[in-house]
Amino acid sequence: MKKDVVVRLHASFEELVQRDADWGGEYWLARDLQTLLGYARWENFVKVIEKAKTACQASGYEPADHFLDVTKMVELGSGANREIEDIALTRYACYLIAQNGDPSKEAIAFAQTYFAVQTRKQELIEQRLAEVERLSARKKLTTSEKELSGIIYERVGDQMSFARIRSKGDMALFGGHSTQSMKTKLGVPDNRPLADFLPTITIKAKDFANEITNFNIKRDELHTEGSIAVEHVKNNKDVRDLLIQRGIQPEALPPAEDIKKIERRVASEAKKLPAAKKKLSR
């Protein structure tokens, strides 16, 4: 495909993007896409859309989430307005339409690549947001653990008390599994914290239990290892019960990627940003 055709088609597809004023999401209108993809008759294009809906459902997605029936007003030659049927399409819906379209059409061939790349970009953004959320949760857990450790040492005076209390809390959260047994279960190296390999939901659960313990130690003036341990175990058990009610069994969740790898990846990509900006400004 010639470069000038690629440039023209890219600009055309970008111009067709609609954005919802309420939720900010983007979509395309089927009748706009029909013209751009080279279909003269709406009836023929609807057949392609139906195939795309079937492919959507076969992939495990609800077609109604990606193909929304709408109506719009169009102006007739006489100056009068008439309401016609249309379909609001997500990026994924557009991709499926392109995949089920006539590949001999130049615009279809372009659209197959265009929407595949756009969909991949969206997936990468969502993945990065999930990674940033996990990094943030891990840092917050570190903060709440440091606070708990400091409070315990201040009130009990034993540097090993925190480790013993945290271990009992882990057993309550993980249904009787000790910290070490969970590390073995998840394949965590002996010299690494269990939390570095836990999924975000479990990291947040541990942090929430810590925050409650920190608050109640101060409120209830707890000053012994035994009383603090009872408090921490109760809070972890309560958090576990809440997760279980929602169908989440902490000890049964698979291990997450080593958080140190995520930190290095995010830091490495951040270093590339100034260089990329400099390159674009030339």
Predicted local distance difference test score (pLDDT) of residue 24: 61
DSSP H stretches of helix in the chain: 3-15, 30-36, 42-58, 91-99, 106-156, 161-173, 179-186, 200-220, 225-245, 259-280
pLDDT digit string, tens, across residues 169-228: 999 999 999 999 999 999 999 999 999 999 999 999 999 999 999 999 999 999 999 999
Predicted local distance difference test score (pLDDT) of residue 98: 87
Predicted local distance difference test score (pLDDT) of residue 1: 47
Regions of the chain short of the pLDDT cut 50: 1, 275-282
Token digits for 150? 């400091």
Token digits for 269? 């990509």
Predicted local distance difference test score (pLDDT) of residue 272: 62
Predicted local distance difference test score (pLDDT) of residue 30: 93
Amino acid at 33: L
Task: Give the domain ranges of the chain.
Answer: 3-117, 128-264
Predicted local distance difference test score (pLDDT) of residue 275: 44
CA 103, 109, 113 angle in degrees (round to 5)?
Answer: 135
- Sequence-separated (6 or more) residues with CB below 8 Å from residue 181: none
Query: What's the CA dihedral at 5, 7, 8, 10 to 10 degrees?
Result: 120
Token digits for 70? 């709408």
Output b/e per residue, 76-96; b: 16+ Cβ within 10 A: eeeeeeeeeebbbbbbbbbbb
Predicted local distance difference test score (pLDDT) of residue 279: 43
